[in-house]
Structure 1
Amino acid sequence: MLEAAFADVVAGRILLRAPFANLLLCKRIPGAAWDKARRVWAYPATPRHARLIQTSIPCLEASDKFAELLTRRTTTPEPPAQAPEPQPAVELPAGLKTTPWRHQIEAFRFAMERLVRGAGAVLLALEMGVGKTLVALMVLAAMAARRILICCPLRVVPVWQQQIERHLNLPLIVVTLDDSAGSVANKKKLAEEKLRLAEATGRPLAVIINYDSVWRAPFAEWAEKQPWDLIIADESHRLKAPGGKASLAFKRLRSRARARLALTGTPLPHSPLDAYAQFRFLDPSIFGPSFAAFRQKYAVMGGFQKKQVTAFQHLDELEALMKTITFRVSKDVLDLPPETHVTYECDLSPDALRVYRDLEDDFVAEVRDGRITAANAMVKLLRLQQVAGGWVKTDDGQYHRVDSAKQNLLADTLEDIGPNEPVVVFCRFHADLDAVHEAAKAAGFQSLELSGRRDELKRWQEGEAQVLAVQISAGGVGVDLTRARYSILYSLSFSLGEYDQCLARTHRPGQLRPVLHIHLLAKNTVDERIQRALDRRAEVVDSILKEIGA
Structure 2
Amino acid sequence: MLKTELRSYQSEAVDAALQHDGFALFPEQRTGKCLIALAVVDHHKPDIVVIVCPKKARITWESEIAKHLDLDWECAFYIINYQQPVKNLALRGHWYKFSKDFVDGGGTLMVIADESHHIKKPGTAQSRFVRTLGKRAHWRLALTGTPIDKGYEQLWATFDFVQHKVAFGTYDQFKNRYVLYDEKERRDGRQYKVITGYQRGPELLKIIHHYSYRITFNEARIAMGKKPITIRKRKVYFDLNKKSRRLYDSMDKEMQVVVDGLDIEAPLPVTKIQKLQQICGGFLLMLEPRVPGKKKRKRFVVPTGKEKLTALMQLLSGMDDRKLVICARFTHEIKAINELLHEFKWTHKEISGSSEWDGKFDVDVVVMQIRSGLGFDLSEANTYVFYSWDHSYIVFEQSRFRIMDMERTTQINYHFLMARDTIEEEYFEAIARKKDFSALVLDKYRKTKAAKRRRATRKAAGRVRQACKKKQLALDL
TM-score (norm 1): 0.42
Q: Which has the higher contact order (CA 8 A, sep 6+)?
A: 2
Structure with greater Cα Rg: 1
